[in-house]
Structure 1
Amino acid sequence: MGCVIRLRIDLAYDGGAFYGWAKQPELRTVQGEIESALARILRTPADGPQPRLVVAGRTDTGVHASHQVCHIDVDESALASCVGHMDAPAEVALQRRLDRMLPDDIVIHRISRAPEGFDARFSALERTYVYRVRDAAVPMDPRLRGFVLRLDDELDVDAMNEAMAATIGLHDFGSFATPNPGGTTIREVKIARWDRVPVRPLVAYADETARGSLGTPAYVTPAADSGLLTLTIVADAFARNMVRSLVGASIKVGQGKRSVAWFRDKVAEPKREGETGPIAPQGLTLEYVAYPPDDQLATRAEAIRAKRTL
């Protein structure tokens, strides 16, 4: 084997038809699809080490990503062989070949050579998730059913935000998550807020006096996400089921089924039980993964590997 180099892969996917990110036997997963395609492109021998992706954050069954990040270590000569007759850098050639081979519900945004010390998982500073809900305050657009949760109640957004305020800071989220083996449910939440998307035009017209054929005000096409309720939550990392469980609990508060004090107690006393289980996955999307400057990547990775305590 020749020189091994690390590649960073930025991608997106519609999680509706996947059993999550992590590769599983006999099940369709994002990791499984990409690794299988990479093995064919890089001509990996069946009896040799197979391509292995390391991801910034594993998403569950049905959860989407508009910006996911992973890395892979590849043999430089195998990467160079991707160029063929293309007049392009090897990373670009690999991306083009992946684009042609992957299914339509996975899109590769960019493949680049990772800077020294980069680790897609451990170098990350924070992850941003958004959960989208269409409540009774606005009609449901059936075209959005794949990534928006429909609820029949009109939610109390102020009460939901009062509850979510208790999550800000470093806490043990054991009431809302399960730890990985040897890990903890201690996480630092930096932002957690519900907002209603304003009803807004799809296109902002410079001439607000535009008239239709009968002289009446012209119809203004609304943006598809007008009126949606969105939870934006940012943390250094998330434990398994943490976001969906926080969403489910805060929605119970918004429906008037539980109080803000009940939610705060769940944050203060980490205890997993039936009332704080995860809500449906389709409303959740991983939106962004942030990293420090290149010269701080290795230091960040080393620090985050340490087991956290309060």
Structure 2
Amino acid sequence: MTELKPAVLRQDSGLLRVRLDLAYDGAPFSGWALQPGLATVQGVIEAGLETVLRRPARLTVAGRTDTGVHARGQVAHVDLTPGEWHGLSRGKEMSPETALLRRLGATISRELNSADSQRHRVPAVVLLKVALAPQGFDARFSALWRRYSYRIADRPQLRDPLARSVTLWHPDELHVDPLNAGARQLLGLQDFRSFVKLRPGATTVRELQRFDFRRAEDGVIIVSVQADAFCHNMVRGLIGSTLRVGTGEKEPQWLLERLQARSKEARSVLAAPHPLVLEEVRYPDDDAIGSRAAETRARRDGSARAEAL
């Protein structure tokens, strides 16, 4: 997996930053990030960009989703020269935005279909929108927050075979009130190292802004998790641990004790990835995009240095 940091686009670089809004079914992929010999979402899109631009191009993404995790509201950016941008329409009467949306979308579809024996299938990656980004935009560091959803069917009558690819079939009935009582204790700016997969030099401090469970009208439990950013496996670690409270195995207070312990328990279990969906990434107004990116980058670097001391 690559760990390259997003580039900071200088005002005098002459490059144009382009925002891509994406959705994808994560089931066929080994996550977002490039991995040698494996199919990844980043790999598919960058291969499409290379075909369109006739040169390699590197994407920066708002949130690197894990293997099997889906997205409805993913955001990425890529930097193009003015010549590349204005040449996308190839003399046709369409905007560069429309041209890249159509050409890259068609290229991605062809690549996915050629690798899929079931050619009638809808492509697993969809390019939703293309736009020139405002000055200072960074898909990763400009984001105010990311929001995920997670579906759980905890009763046999709720197990819809047509939704099984995006729903956890939990073997035991869950109780929503204890789930929420436990989840509330984790809110705020916290060190979440007890619930994540550690990465060398990376901070585990995040602001968890929302974490709640509710039963939808059809009885399925919908989990909403929102934070300024997420560590590796953080959402699945939080949900997997909290489900132990929902079954009555643990009391809600146990989650706070786990948080304060700042170390993973031997019996820590990650929730399954297939019901997890990145729903939305929110950014500030255009005039605050650049300052948000600078503040986030400085805060993350400072937190990582402090943990290393």
Alignment-mate amino acid for residue 109 of structure 1: L
Instruction: Give the paired residue count.
Output: 277
* Displacement of 1:86: 3.1
Given the alignment, which residue of 172, 175, 191 partners 1:153? 172
**Residue 112 of structure 1 aligns with which residue?**
131
Q: Distance in 2 between matches of 1:141 and 1:86?
A: 47
Q: Distance in 2 between matches of 1:279 and 1:111?
A: 33
The worse-fitting range, judged by mean Cα deviation, of 179-188 and 61-70 is: 179-188
The Cα offsets for residues 243-269 of structure 1, whole Å up to 9 and x where unpaired, read as 001100111111122221221201122
Q: Distance in 2 between matches of 1:39 and 1:89?
A: 20
Pair member with larger Rg = 1
Alignment CA distance shift 1:298-1:181 (3 Å): farther
Alignment-mate amino acid for residue 257 of structure 1: E
**Residue 94 of structure 1 aligns with which residue?**
100
Q: Are 1:252 and 2:244 an aligned pair?
A: yes
Given the alignment, which residue of 271, 279, 285 partners 1:279? 271
**Residue 222 of structure 1 aligns with which residue?**
none
**Residue 51 of structure 1 aligns with which residue?**
57
Q: TM-score, normalised by structure 1?
A: 0.86
Q: Which stretches in structure 1 are left out of the alignment for 5+ residues?
A: 45-49, 199-225
**Residue 82 of structure 1 aligns with which residue?**
88
* Displacement of 1:30: 0.3
Alignment-mate amino acid for residue 8 of structure 1: R
The worse-fitting range, judged by mean Cα deviation, of 178-187 and 62-71 is: 178-187
The Cα offsets for residues 1-49 of structure 1, whole Å up to 9 and x where unpaired, read as x9421000001000011000001111000000000010011111xxxxx
Is the Cα–Cα contact under 8 Å of residues 42 and 79 in structure 1 kept in the other structure?
Answer: no
Q: TM-score, normalised by structure 2?
A: 0.86
Alignment-mate amino acid for residue 279 of structure 1: A
Alignment-mate amino acid for residue 304 of structure 1: T
Q: Which stretches in structure 2 are left out of the alignment for 5+ residues?
A: 1-12, 113-122
Q: Distance in 1 between matches of 2:193 and 2:269?
A: 11
Alignment-mate amino acid for residue 84 of structure 2: A
Taking only the aligned residue pairs, the percentage that are identical comes to 42
Is the Cα–Cα contact under 8 Å of residues 176 and 277 in structure 1 kept in the other structure?
Answer: no
* Displacement of 1:85: 4.8
Given the alignment, which residue of 193, 201, 226 partners 1:174? 193
* Displacement of 1:55: 0.3
Alignment-mate amino acid for residue 32 of structure 1: G
* Displacement of 1:137: 6.6
Equivalent runs, 1:230-241 vs 2, <5 Å = 230-241=222-233
**Secondary structure of the structure 2 residue equivalent to 1:282:** coil
Alignment CA distance shift 1:180-1:293 (3 Å): farther
Alignment-mate amino acid for residue 184 of structure 2: A
**Residue 49 of structure 2 aligns with which residue?**
38
Q: Are 1:19 and 2:11 an aligned pair?
A: no
Is the Cα–Cα contact under 8 Å of residues 56 and 289 in structure 1 kept in the other structure?
Answer: yes
Q: Distance in 2 between matches of 1:138 and 1:232?
A: 23
**Secondary structure of the structure 2 residue equivalent to 1:69:** strand
